[in-house]
Amino acid sequence: MPIPMSHTAPTLLIKKSAFERVGFSRAQFDDALNLTEDEFRVEAGVIAVGPLVGEDALTDLIAQLEERGLVYYDDFFELSGNWPDWLRLFVMDAGS
C-alpha cells in the first residue's frame, strides 16, 4: 500500500534494507525526534520518517544517516514537502 506524503514539510524516505543493514532502530528515531506513530511508517521496502518540522531536524537526520554509512539517493532521499495542496503524492517500493 503506498504511503501518502505531506505537502507541508519534508519527509525522509529510507530503504528498509539500508536501515536494517546499519543497525538503526525505530526507538533511536523516536528518541531523537519525538515521533508520533504516524511520523514513522513502514511499507514493504520503504520507511518514511516525517513530516519533519524544524529547521535542523532534517539536516541533523541526514548527517546521522551519512555518519552510519548510508548514501544519499542510493539509500535514502528527502521529499521536500513543497508542492501545492491540490496535488497528492504517494510512495512505495518499486519492487512491491
- Domain boundaries, given as residue ranges, for the chain: 8-82
d(CA 46, CA 41) in angstroms, rounded, equals: 8
What would the pLDDT profile of 2-35 be if each residue is shown by its tens digit? 888 989 889 999 999 999 999 998 888 888 888 8
d(CA 17, CA 33) in angstroms, rounded, equals: 21
**CATH 1.20.140, applies to 8-82:** no
pLDDT of residue 36: 85
